Structure 1
Amino acid sequence: MSRFELALVCALIAPSIASAVDQSFVTIDVDEAQTDPDFSIQGEYAPHDESASNKGVQVVAQGDGLFRVVIYNGGLPGAGWDRKPPQVIPEEDGEIVLELLETFGVKKKLRESPTLGATPPPDAVVLFDGTDESLRVHWKDGTRKTEDGLLIEGATTTDEFQDFHLHLEFMTPYRPHARGQARGNSGVYYQGRYETQVLDSFGLDGKSNETGGIYEIRDPDLNMCFPPLTWQTYDVDFTAPRFDATGQKQSNAKITVRLNGVVVQRDVEIPRTTRAAPLKESAASGPLFLQDHGNPVHFRNIWIQTRDAAAEARRPRIPGYERFEANRIDSVAGGQLLVSELGCVQCHASNNPTLTQEATKQAPILTSLGSRAEPQWVFDFLLNPHGVKAGTLMPDLLTGMTDDEKLVAAQALTTFLTQGSRIAHRSYDRGASNRGEKLFHSIGCVACHAPQDGTIVADSSTVPLPKLDQKYSVDSLAAFLRAPHQVRPSGRMPSFNLSDEEALDLAFYLSGNENAARTPNVYFSVYHGDWEALPNFDELKPVSQGTTDGLNIAEAGRTEQFGMRFEAYLNVTEPGTHAFWLGSDDGSALYVDGERVINNDGIHPHNDQNGKVVLQEDVHKIRVDYFEYHGEESLSLDYRAPKSARQDISALLTLNEDGTPVEKLEPIDSDLAGPVYEQDDQLINQGAKLFSTLGCAACHQLDRDGQRIPSELHSKPLAELDLTAGCLTNLENRSSDQTIPEYDLTAAQQSAIRTFLSDPMANPSTDPEEAIRETMVRFNCYACHERNGQGGPELDRNSLFLTTQHEMGDEGRLPPPLNGVGDKLQPKWLQRVLDRGSNERPYMLTRMPRFGASNTGDLHEHFINADQQTSDIDVEFEIPEHRVKSSGRQLVGDGGLACIKCHTFGNHQATGIQAIDLTRMTDRIRKDWFQRYLFEPAKYRPGTRMPTGFPDGKAVVTDLFEGDPDQQIASIWNYLSDGTKAGVPDGLVAKMIELEPEDEPIIYRNFLEGVSPRGIAVGYPEKAHLAWDANQLCLKTIWHGRFIDASKHWVGRGQGNQSPLGDHILTLEPGFPFSVLPSRATPWRNLNIRDEAGYQFGGYRLNDKGQPAFFYQTPFGSVTDFPKPIASSGEDAGFERTLTITVQEETPNLYFRAAVGREIQPVGDGFQIDGSMIINLESTNAPFIRTIGGNSELLVPISEAPGETMIVQRIFW
C-alpha cells in the first residue's frame, strides 16, 4: 500500500485536530489568524525540487481541524496545472493532510501577483492611495478607511467612466467555518452595473459567483484566487456598451479580467447588468462601486486609466504579444516582439543581436500584386490601412499629407503596384463553399482566426482577416492558401499543405461572396427532367431563361434533376491551339462554334476532361450543356490561350457577339462607399517614386526586371532614435507636415518598445528554454500547444479543436503538449516537422502546418538542448535479433500487451480506437525515450489513456524474457524498427484467410512482400516456410510459425503485397546466388537476370510428399534447388537445401554465395551470419569467407569441369 493510500485509510479512523477558534471566527488581520493552528496548514504547496512529484496542492481550512484538499496535476493553477480535472478530497483531518503533503514532496509556497504594487501611469486617475486626500476627492461621503490606510468595503467613486483600465488590490478575510457566499464576499461593479465577484474562493471550483467570475454571466477560465489574507490584484480592461441616438444598444459591454496577473476573462461580452447592480444599463458613464456584503474586505492601490476602445481596436494585433506580454508593465520581451514583428529594423539599422533576420518578420512580397488583389482594395487599404483591416501591422504611410495629396498618392501607388492587372472571378460554388467551411473550422484556421459560425472568441488574440471577397478572387486566394510563403515568407501564416481542391474550397468559403454584385456575361436556359445522359436541349422547352455571371448552376433554382445550357462569346486575340478543361458532376459537354470539343457525359462524381481546338483571331461562340441527376452538383470550365496561363474562363466571356466586354455593374456594398480608384497610367512613375521614398521598398520586396526595387528612405539607426518622437508618438503630437508611419500603437505598446530599445541588457539569452518561448510566442505556437504549463488552446477556442475519435478524449482532439519534445522526438524528425509539417495523427483534425526551416531556425536544437535526457538503460539479448523481434511482435499483438487494440499498424486499423501508427513509431521517437515512456507513460504525459504494461515495475506478460521490463520494451522497439516491413501482429486482421499446411506443403503464388511479382511461397507442416523468387532465381525469404494470410489477394481486387504471417522472418538471398568472379577480390555482380540472356525459370516439380524442387537454366548450365524442412536442436525446424549444378562446358571461377551479412564467423562445423543464422555446408570444394564493400560473404567454389556438382546447405535460425 502506498503512503497516499495509507493516508486515505487513516482519514477514516484518525481523530481530528481540535480547532482553537469558534465557528463565528472571522478576521482580516494576519496576526489574529495565526492564533488558529489551521491557518498555518492552509495554503498552496508545490514541489521543492525536481525529485518531487509534479503536483500542486491547495489546502483550504474548513474549521475544527478539517481541510479541503485539491490536488492539481503538473502544478498549481497558473503555474503548471495541465487543466485536467483535479483530485478533490472534500474534508480531511489535519494530520492526514500533513502526511499527504510529505508523500507528494511538496512545500508551502507563498505566491504574489506580478502586478502587485503596480505604479500608476502619469495619465492615470489615482482613486485611492491610502491618503485622506484621495478618499475625499474621489469617493462619496461615508466611505471609510482603516487606520493603516486601507479602503473598507461599501464604497462608490464620485468619478464616472466609460472605457478604462483598472488596477485594484484586495484582501479577503480568514473565515474558516464559513461556506459559499458567506466567505469573504464583496464585488467590484464597473460603471455601477457589471460585477466581477470578490470572494474567498481559494481551492473552490471557479464559478461565476466566485473571484474572477462575472456574476451569473460567466465562470472564470480558471480559479486564480489566492488564500485569504493574501493581497490579490484585479487588472481589468473595460469597454462600455454603445448606444445609438435613440437609446438602442448597438454593442454590449466587454471586459478582460486579469486575476493575480492571469487572464481569467478575455474579451467577454456582458449582455446585461449583473444582480444587485446599483445602476441600470444606459449610455451614461458610471462609477466604480465596491460592494459591502457583510464581510470585512479591504482594498488598496486603486487607479484607473481611461481608454479609447475604438482607437485601441486599430492597434497592431500580434497574438503572442496580446496573450503573454500586453499585461506586463514595460515588458522587455513584449517590446522585442513588437520591434521584430513590426519590422522596425527594415528602416532603422540595428546591431542588436536579438533582432536576427529569422526573428524579424518580412512584409508581404508585392511582386505580381495585381494578379492576386483587387486594385480598389489596394487603394482603400493604402488610404486607411487600420480601418480596412483593423489589427494590421501595416502602418499608414500617408500621414502628414492633405486629403487631396493622400488620394493622389494612393492612386499613384495602386497604379504602380497593380500595373493595370485585373483578376478573374469565378461563379459562386455552394458545394465548394460548404466543404471550405468545414475545412476552415476543423484543420486549425480557427486557432488563430475568428470562427465564422457565430462562435465568440477573444478579439485580442485573434489574427484579423480583411474582407477577403473584396481583396481576392477565388483563384488568387486559393493560390495564396496553397503556397503562402511565396507571398509571406516569414511563416507567420504557415502552410497547411493543402491540396488544390482544398485550397479552392477554402477560397470559395472565404472570398466567394454569394451575394456580390456580378456582371451577367452568359445566357442560360434551365430544363427540368430525369436524365442519365445529356438530352438534346434543342428539342426541349426551357422552364426559365436569363443572363448570369459565368457558368452559374445556382440559377437552376434546384439541386436535383435539372439541365442547363450556357451560351456566350469569347474574343480570341491569340491565334493558335487553345486548351479547355471541362469539369462537372454529373454530365456536360463543351461546344466551340457548334463543334463538340469535350464530352464529359454520364452520371459521375466531379471530374475534368480536356480538349484542344485551333482558333483564329476572332469572336467564337462558346456553349456548355450540363445536367444533374442526383447528389452533388458542380460545373467548371478552365481555359488556356497559346501564350497564357490556365484560368477560369468566366471573366473572359461576354454576351456581345462583337466580343466587347459587358459593361461592369457597380458594387452596391456600402462598405465600399468612399473614393473610387481609377487607373491612370500617367501616375506609374510617380507611384514608383513614392514606393521608394515613403519607405514601402524598405519592407516590401517588389522585383522589376529580376531586381528588387531599393528603398530611398534614409532613417537613423535604432540606437540613435529619440524614443519620445517619430513612430512612438501619437498622431496628434506630431507636426502636420511630418510624414511619419502611423502604427496606431497603444500607450502600452509604445512603452514596451521604449523599454526594449533603452535596455542595454537586451541581448540574446543563452538559455534554450527562453529561446523556445520567444519562438513559440512569435509563431503563435501556443495557440495549439502547451509547454511546461504555458499556452495551449484558450478556453473559448478549446472546443474548436475536433477529432474523429471521440473516445480518445482530449488526447485525440488537442495538439500534443510540447513538454520534453526534444527528449521524445528524433532530431531529424523534429527538424522535418517544423520545416514541412506533419499529419501523424489523422484522427486529430487540426493539422501541424509547415513553417519553413528558414523561419524556425535553430528551434529544433533548442528543444533538444533543453529537453534531451539519456538513461542508463542498456539492454542486451542472448538470442538472435530475429527472435527478439518475434517476441516484440507477440507483445504488440492481442496475446501480449495488446498495443493493436488502440494503435493502427500501417494500413491495418486497430481493433478499438485508431491511435497513432505503430509502424511509424521508430522513425519519429528516440529509442531512449521510448524505453522510459513505455515503462511509465503517465510520468511523461499525465492523464494519458495509454496504460503501462508494467504496473509497480512488474511485467504483466511473464513468459517472455522472464518478465524483464527493459528487455520486453527493447524487443518491441526492435520489432517496430522494421517499419512497414514488420510482420503484422496477431489479432489485427479480423477477416483473415489463413493458409495452414497440415499434411503436405501449400504452394501460394501471388504478390509477396520483399519478393518480385513472380514469388512462390511454400508453407510446410513443419512450420518452416519460404518464398522462392522466380524472377531472381533465388531462395529469398524464410520464416517460422504461421504461413500466410490469403485474404488480401482472394477478397476484392487482390491488390498489394502480402507479408508472411509468422515470425523469425529473414532474407536469405538478396539476388541470384551464382556468379563468375575473375578473382576472389572481384565484387559480386548483382545481376538483374531478367535483363540478361541465357537465364530461364523452368518451373518446379513435387515429390511424393508434395515438396517442390525448383529448376532453372543459366549460361553456365542448369540448377535444381530443392529445399526441405529438417529438425533442429531447437524447437523450430530448419531447412536442408540441396543444390545440383550441372555445368555444360568448362566454367572457371564460378561461385555459389551461401550467405551475405555484416559479419560471418566460423562456429563449430558451420558459420554464423550476423549472430542470427547458422549455415552448415557440404560440398566438394571448401567454402571460404571474404569481406568486401563492408559486407562479409560466404562463398563456395564450383568445379569448373563439365558435369554435376552438389551442394547441401543446412539453414537454422
Structure 2
Amino acid sequence: MKCLSCRWFAALLTCSAVLADWDSHSKLVAAETTPPFVAGFDRFGRHDEISDVHAGRLLLTELSCTACHAPSGAGLTPKRGPKLDAVGSRANRDWVQRYLMNPQSVKPGTTMPDALAGLPTKKRQEAALALAAFLSEQVQPFPEIRATGANPVPFEFWKHGNAKQGRILYHRIGCVACHAADEDYEVAEMKASPIDAMLEQLDPEEIKELGLLSAARRVESVPHGDLAAKYSHQSLTHFLLKPEAARPAGRMPDFDLKAVDAADIAAWLLSKQTQASTSGDGDEQLVAAGRTLFTSIGCSNCHDIKGLQSQHKAKPLAVLHANAATSCFVAEQQTSGQPFYPLDDVQKQTINAVLASVRENTALADHDSVQLTLLQLNCYACHTRDKLGGVGRFRKAYFETVGHVDIGDEGRLPPALTGVGGKLTTSAMKNVFSGKGRIRPHMFVRMPGFPSRLLEPLPTLFAKTDQIANPLAADAVFKVQKSDRLVAAGRALMDSGCVQCHSFSGEALPGTVGTDLRGMAARVHPQWFHDFLLNPGKLKARTRMPTFFPNGESQNKDILEGDTEQQIAAMWAYLSDLNRQPLPEKILKARAQDYELTPTKRPIVLRTFMQRAGTHAIAVGFPQKVHYAFDAETLSLSEAWRGRFVDAEGTWFVRAAPPAKPLGETVIPLPSGVVLAALPNSGAAWPTDAEAANAKFSGYRLDARGVPTMLYEIGGVTVEDRIEPLELQGLKRTLTLVRRQPDSQSSTLWLRPLTGASLTKVGEASYRNETGLAVEVAVNGGSVKGESRRNEGVSEWLVSVDVAEQSVIEVRYSW
C-alpha cells in the first residue's frame, strides 16, 4: 500500500479530481446524515426556550468549534473529544476505521465532524485505515481496581457481569435521564403528577394555549451508538467505572459504581455483542502515516495523545462570518481539508446568529454563565431551574423509590435548582457536584459526580445569581444566644412534626421516608432555613412541606412562649448540634419498643432484607452479643458485628422499609461469594455467584440450643455450615463436607476464607486483612495447604481441601 506522507497528503488536497469527487460526496453526505445531537440545544434551542446567544454558544462549545477557531471571550471553552492515549485498549479497531470513514452513519447524532471530508472515496479509505492503525497502537493497561469491604472486586470481574441486574441498574440509577430506556422494561405504576394528568386530557392546541408545550414535549435521547461493535466487556466496564479518564469533558458523569455494578451494566449494554475487539496489525509504515495525519488534519485539536501537538490552524472565531466563502457546515462551500458538520438549517442559523455577539466580545453575565454550564453538562435532564428543564414527561416513571413508596414527584425526582445558591452553602454544593453528600436514601436515582475543574466556579456563580454572595451568619439571622434551653426546645419542636417525615442521623420513626436532617446546618444557609420554615411554599413551589407558622404565627404555644423567631432559632440550634444531642423523644420511644431484637437465652434467627446480605438475608443474633448475616442467595457469610442485634420493625410491619441494618457499632464485612468452590487449579478465577459455583441452598436447621446450621450443596458436595460465637467475641465456623458420589469428580475443593486489599500472614494458618479481620483455619484438625494470591487488585487466601468422603473445616474469625 502507498505510504501516506505529508507530501502525499498535500498533493492530494490540491488535486482537481479530488475536488470533483468531493462535490458528489458532500451532496451524498448532506442528504443521508442526521445532524449532530446536542441535548440542551435539541430540547430548548430548537424551540426558542433559550436565547439565540445561549443556543449558539452551546453549539460552538459542544461541537468543539472553538478547539480550532480560537475564541476571544469567556464562556466558549470547547468540549473537545475523548483522550486517545489508550483508545487502542478501549475501542475495536474495525469500529474506529468505519467511524472515521463516516462518523454520522456509524453513530447518528455524533458531535464528531467528518474529518476526512475533503478526500475522494479511495483516499478516505486509505486515510481511515492509516488513522485506525495508528490509534490501535495507543494502548495502556487498564487500571487496577482495589477491593474494599464495600466494593468487592472478583477476579476478572468484567467477565462475570449479570445482564439482568445491569438492566435494572441502568433504568434505576439515572442513565435513562439522558439515554433511551428499553421499551420492554416494566416500572411500578405511579400516580401521575397534576400537570402530567392534565396534559393527558388536553389536545395539542390547548397545550399550546396554556404554555405547556415544553412540559408535554418528548425529550430526545443522547445516542449510544453501536456499543457492541465499539467496546469489549473489559473496556466498557472500566469506562463506566471512571468516565473522566477517557472523557475529561465530563459530559458522561461518574455514578460511583462498584466494580460488579459496572460489569453488570456493561453486560446489559453489550448483551447483543457477537464479536470481540480486534487489535492492530503492527504495520509500522501504516502507523507512521496515521500519526502524521492525526496532527496534520487537526485531530489533535480535539483529542489528546501524549507528545503530539496540533499543526492545524484555523481563523479565530471573532473574524468568522456567516456569509464566508467556505464553511465547515455548508456542503456546497466545502474546500478540501476542512472537517464537515452536517448541521440542519436551525443549527446553521443559530451559529450564524451568535457570531455577531462573539465578534463584539460580549461578556456573559453570571446568570448566563450558570445557564450555559447547566446546558453543556445536561443538568436540565434531571433538574429544573427557573422553569427550564427537569425529568422529561415520558421518563418520570423510571425514577422510582425504594419499595415504590408514593411520596409524589418532590420525593422521587431530583430537586429543583431554582434559588439553590440561596439555599446550599458552597461547600455543600461542591460535595453534591462531586457525587457526595447524598441525603435521599429512599431514591434509587443517584446524583453523579462531575470533574471538579468544570464546576469549580459554579457554587460562587449560584450564590451571586441567587443574591446571597455574602450570606449572614447564624447569629445575625436568629439573634438569639444559643443555650441548653434553646437546644432542648428545638428537640421538642422536632417531635411536633419533623419526625413524621425526616430521619435523624439514620434513625427514624417506622415507615418514615424523607431526607436526613443530619448535617442540615452545614448544608443550608441560616437565612434560607429561617425563611423556608416561615413559608415553605414561597421558596419551593408545590412542596409537601407543611407550614408550622401560618401567617408567621406558631401553632405550638407551649414551647418558648410560642415565639416564632425563638422557635426557629431553637430548631437550628438543635440541628447544628445533632451529633451530640439525644434523638427526638418519639424516635427514642419507638426504638424502645419490642421491635429491637435482643437475644438473651437463645439465638434469634430473622429472615429479612439487608444492604450487604441482600434480599435473601438470614440474620442470626446471639446472647454473647456477636452476630452475623448470611446471604442465602449467594451462599456467603456477608458480615458480622458486635453489640446490639437488629430492629425488626421494618421487616415485620413496614411494607416499604429500607433494608435492615446491624445496630452494633463494630460491623465487619466478610468475603463476598461462596466460601468453597471446585477449581481446576489455584490460579483459576473464583466463581462470582452461587450459580457459577454450581451451588444450591437447601435451608437451615436448628439444634437444641437454637443455633442454626446452613445447608447447601457445592459441586456434588453437601455442606453443613454451623456458625457460633467464640469466647473472645469472634465467630467459629464449622464446615462439614460430605461428597455424595466420591468417585464421580475430583476430590479437591478450595476454601477462600479471607480476601482484602492486602493480606498479612499472622500465623502458620492465619491471615489478617486491612479491615482488622483475622481468620484462622484448620482442616480435619490438622495443618492446612494454602497460598495467598493477588488478582485484579484483590488479595485472596486459598486453602485446598481433600474431600475423599468427609472433611471438617474450622474457620475462626476475630476482629
Q: Alignment partner for residue 477 of structure 1, among 220, 230, 236?
A: 236
Residue of structure 1 aligned with 2:166, choices 428, 436, 440: 436
Give the C-alpha shift of residue 492 in structure 1: 1.2
- Tell me, yes or no, if the aligned pair for 1:339 and 1:753 is still in contact at 8 Å: yes
Residue in 2 that maps onto 1:314: 34
| Matched-pair contact (CA < 8 Å) for 1:372–1:423 | no
Q: Which residue of 2 aligns with 1:647?
A: none
- Write 1 or 2 for the structure with the bigger share of strand: 1
Shift of 1:938: 1.6
- Corresponding residue for residue 697 of structure 1: 300
> Separation in 2 of the partners of 1:906 and 1:432?
34
Q: Does the Cα contact within 8 Å between 1:362 and 1:699 map onto a contact in 2? A: yes
Across the aligned residues of Structure 1 and Structure 2, the Cα RMSD in angstroms comes to 3.5
Q: Per the alignment, do residues 907 and 434 of structure 1 end up closer, same or farther by CA in structure 2, a change over 3 Å counting?
A: same
1:886 matched residue in structure 2: 488
2:178 maps to which residue?
448
3-state secondary structure, aligned to 2:47: coil
> Is 1:757 aligned to 2:341, yes or no?
no
Offset from partner CA, 1:751-807 (integer Å, 9 cap, x none): 221221233675455532222222211111111111121211222223232222533
Kindly tell me: are residues 729 and 994 of structure 1, through their superposed partners in 2, closer, same or farther at Cα, counting changes over 3 Å? closer
Is residue 504 of structure 1 aligned with residue 504 of structure 2?
Answer: no
Distance across 2 between alignment mates of 1:394 and 1:366? 14
Range that drifts further, 400-409 or 365-374:
400-409
- C-alpha distance in 1, partners of 2:533/2:157? 55
Please list, as runs of the form range in 1=range in 2, the aligned pairs for 1:768-847 lying within 5 A after superposition.
Answer: 768-804=366-402, 806-847=405-446
Q: Distance in 2 between matches of 1:719 and 1:868?
A: 33
Q: 1:1051 to 1:433 in 2, by over 3 A?
A: closer
Instruction: Describe the shift of the 1:994–1:506 C-alpha distance in structure 2 as closer, same or farther (beyond 3 A).
Output: closer
8 Å Cα contact 1:354/1:763 also seen in 2? no
Choose the corresponding residue for 1:730, options 321, 325, 330: 330
Equivalent in 65, 68, 82 of residue 347 of structure 1 = 68
Specify whether residues 888 and 428 from structure 1 end up closer, same or farther in structure 2 by C-alpha distance, changes over 3 A only.
Answer: closer
Supply the AA of the counterpart residue of 1:497: D
* Equivalent position to 2:80, from 351, 362, 374: 362
Alignment of 1:380-391 (within 5 A): 380-391=98-109
Change (3 A) 1:466 1:908: same
Partner residue, 2:45? 325
Give CA-to-partner distance per residue, 1:237-267, whole Å, 9 cap, x none. Answer: xxxxxxxxxxxxxxxxxxxxxxxxxxxxxxx
* Correspondence 1:409 to 2:127: yes
Do the aligned partners of 1:420 and 1:679 also contact (CA within 8 Å) in 2?
no
Secondary structure (helix, strand or coil) at the match of 1:987 reads helix
Taking structure 1 as reference, are residues 360 and 501 closer, same or farther at Cα in structure 2, changes over 3 Å only? same
Q: Kindly state the Cα deviation for residue 892 of structure 1 after the two structures are TM-superposed.
A: 0.9
Structure number, greater radius of gyration: 1
- Once the two structures are TM-superposed, the CA of residue 511 in structure 1 deviates from its matched residue by 2.0
Give the letter for the 1:371 counterpart: S
TM alignment of 1:55-74, pairs within 5 A: none
Offset from partner CA, 1:558-586 (integer Å, 9 cap, x none): xxxxxxxxxxxxxxxxxxxxxxxxxxxxx
Deviation at 1:365, TM superposition (A): 0.3
Q: 1:802 to 1:965 in 2, by over 3 A?
A: same
TM-aligned CA distance change 1:421 to 1:333, over 3 Å = closer
- Which segment drifts farther, 758-767 or 409-418? 758-767
In structure 1, the residue matched to 2:460 is 861
More helix by share: 2
Instruction: Provide the aligned length of Structure 1 versus Structure 2.
Output: 533
1:470 counterpart SS class:
helix
Tell me which of 97, 101, 109 is aligned to 1:379: 97
Deviation at 1:378, TM superposition (A): 0.8
Alignment of 1:204-603 (within 5 A): 311=31, 314-328=34-48, 331-355=52-76, 359-419=77-137, 432-454=162-184, 461-513=220-272, 516=274
Are positions 1:747 and 2:747 aligned together?
no
Selected match of 1:952 from 547, 551, 574: 551
**TM-score if structure 1 supplies the norm length?**
0.41
Does 2:552 correspond to 1:914? no
Distance, in Å, in 2 between the alignment partners of 1:807 and 1:460 is: 24
Shift in Å, 1:889: 1.1
Q: Which runs of 5+ in 1 are unaligned?
A: 1-306, 519-650, 652-663, 665-675, 996-1045, 1059-1213
- Name the CA distance, whole Å, in 2 between partners of 1:789 and 1:308: 41
Cα deviation 1:1070-1114 (Å, max 9, x = unaligned): xxxxxxxxxxxxxxxxxxxxxxxxxxxxxxxxxxxxxxxxxxxxx
TM-score (norm 2): 0.60
Q: Distance in 2 between matches of 1:832 and 1:964?
A: 35
Q: CA deviation at 1:349?
A: 2.1
Superposed displacement of residue 345, structure 1: 1.9
1:509 and 1:902, CA in 2 relative to 1: closer, same or farther beyond 3 A?
same
Which of 520, 530, 546 aligns to 1:931? It is: 530
Classify 1:682/1:988 alpha carbon distance in 2 versus 1 (closer, same or farther; 3 Å).
same
Q: Does 1:719 align with 2:318?
A: yes
Tell me how far apart the structure 1 counterparts of residues 29 and 129 of structure 2 sit (CA, whole Å). Answer: 31
Q: 2:11 corresponds to which residue?
A: none
Matches within 5 A, 1:1184-1199: none
Q: 1:333 to 1:953 in 2, by over 3 A?
A: closer
Q: Name the CA shift for 1:716/1:444 in 2 (closer, same or farther; >3 Å).
A: same
Match of 2:579 among 980, 987, 1005: 980
The one-letter code of the counterpart of 1:694 is I
State how far apart, in whole Å, the 1-side matches of 2:574 and 2:157 are.
54
- Mapped to 1, the partners of 2:96 and 2:28 lie a distance apart of 28
For structure 2, the 5+ residue unaligned runs are 1-26, 143-154, 187-215, 595-641, 649-661, 668-815
Kindly state the Cα deviation for residue 377 of structure 1 after the two structures are TM-superposed: 0.9
Is 1:849 aligned to residue 448 of structure 2? Answer: yes
Secondary structure at 1:796 match in 2:
coil
Q: Cα–Cα, structure 1 residues 951 and 727, in superposed 2: closer, same or farther, change >3 Å? A: same
**2:219–2:392 contact (8 Å) kept in structure 1:** no
Conserved? CA contact 1:346–1:699, under 8 Å: yes
Deviation of 1:370 after TM superposition, in Å, equals 0.8
Q: Distance in 1 between matches of 2:435 and 2:321?
A: 42
Displacement after TM superposition at 1:975 (Å):
0.9
What residue identity is the alignment partner of 1:684?
Answer: V
Change (3 A) 1:743 1:432: same
Change (3 A) 1:789 1:991: closer
Equivalent-residue separation in structure 1 for 2:159 and 2:289 (angstroms): 40
Equivalent-residue separation in structure 2 for 1:716 and 1:898 (angstroms) = 64
Pair 1:1056 & 2:774 matched: no
Task: Determine the structure 2 residue equivalent to 1:82.
Answer: none
* In 1, Cα distance between equivalents of 2:85 and 2:158: 28
Distance 1:886 1:1049, change over 3 A: farther
Q: Tell me if structure 2 keeps the 8 A contact 1:808–1:913.
A: no
Q: CA, structure 1 residues 422+360, in 2 after alignment: closer, same or farther (shift >3 Å)?
A: closer
Query: Partners in 2 of 1:837 and 1:465 — Cα distance?
Result: 27
Q: CA distance change for structure 1 residues 452 and 428 in 2, over 3 Å: closer, same or farther?
A: farther
Q: Could you tell me which residue of structure 1 aligns to residue 723 of structure 2?
A: none
Structure-2 change in CA distance of 1:448 and 1:991 (3 Å): same
